[in-house]
Amino acid sequence: MNYFMLFSNLAMFICMAVSFTYGVVRFFKKGKALYLQMIVGGLGCMMLGRAFQFITLLTRGMLPTGFHVGWLGIAGSFVFFLSANYGQMDRLLDDGAKENRKYRLLGFLAPLLIAGIYGLVFLFDIRLESVIVYGVMTAIIMFASYFNLKHFIFPDVEFGIIRSIRGYNLIALLLGVLSVGEIILLLWNKTLPLLILYVAICAVSIAIVPILEKGVKKWTI
């Protein structure tokens, strides 16, 4: 049994469970914005993904190669994050004005960075199935990261709505980078880099809801 991976996934599960529970208590109330609830839902997906990995390691001693439900939980979390920023929230800040074109273009730097990290998988001898699974998950994170960076750098609008969610978007972008980085470090199979990455994921998971809450306390709709 890989005790390092076992306890690492347990630690991440606990951090995400604490953050998810706090988010449910704070944001799943009448009158709270769906935007906030979707982000908490994303944390719940990621928490379930880590729970699957922990339980699988505990009962079987190793994780399946290629696709498994744990990866689905992590990918699902970024579908929630993407859905929160896409559509109404994006239209609220971006009316399509020509003077804001540079911010739309700069937003592509995030998916390009993540694609570059994913490209490192080709340095390792892995099965095609794994390449496809990792690629699909990375593509979802890339889409989410575009809106995270765009909403982080975009000029503020009335009522300070964009300013209020900048902190969240920055930390969600960091979580995306860390999630793709985990793929590479798992393939590299070095304990110290993985430990540093897992500590960072724990810290980000704990911080995401309080940062979001602090930003939206004066949110006016």
The per-residue pLDDT for range 118-171, each reduced to its tens digit, is: 999 999 999 998 999 999 999 999 999 999 999 999 988 776 778 888 999 999
Ranking 87-96, 105-114, 143-152 by mean pLDDT, the lowest is 87-96
In degrees to the nearest 10, what's the CA dihedral of 135, 137, 142, 145?
A: -160
User: How many beta carbons lie within 10 A of that of residue 93, not counting itself?
Assistant: 18
* pLDDT score recorded for residue 159: 67
With a pLDDT cut of 70, the percent of the chain lying above it is 97
Neighbours of 119 (CB within 10 A): 11
* Higher pLDDT pick, 117 / 32: 117
User: What band does 90 get if pLDDT is binned at 50, 70 and 90?
Assistant: confident
For residue 221, pLDDT over 60 is answered with: no
- DSSP state at residue 100: G
The string of pLDDT tens digits covering residues 206-219 is 999 999 988 877 66
d(C-alpha 194, C-alpha 5), whole Å: 9
Say how far apart CA 6 and CA 116 lie, in whole Å. 29
Mean pLDDT computed over 103-118: 96
Integer CA distances (angstroms), 170 to 152, 202, 206, in order: 6, 16, 14
User: Rounded CA gap, 13 and 102, in Å?
Assistant: 39
CA dist list (Å): 208 to 7, 16, 52, 205: 22, 10, 22, 6
Q: What are the tens digits of pLDDT across the range 55-88?
A: 999 999 888 777 788 888 999 999 999 999 998 7
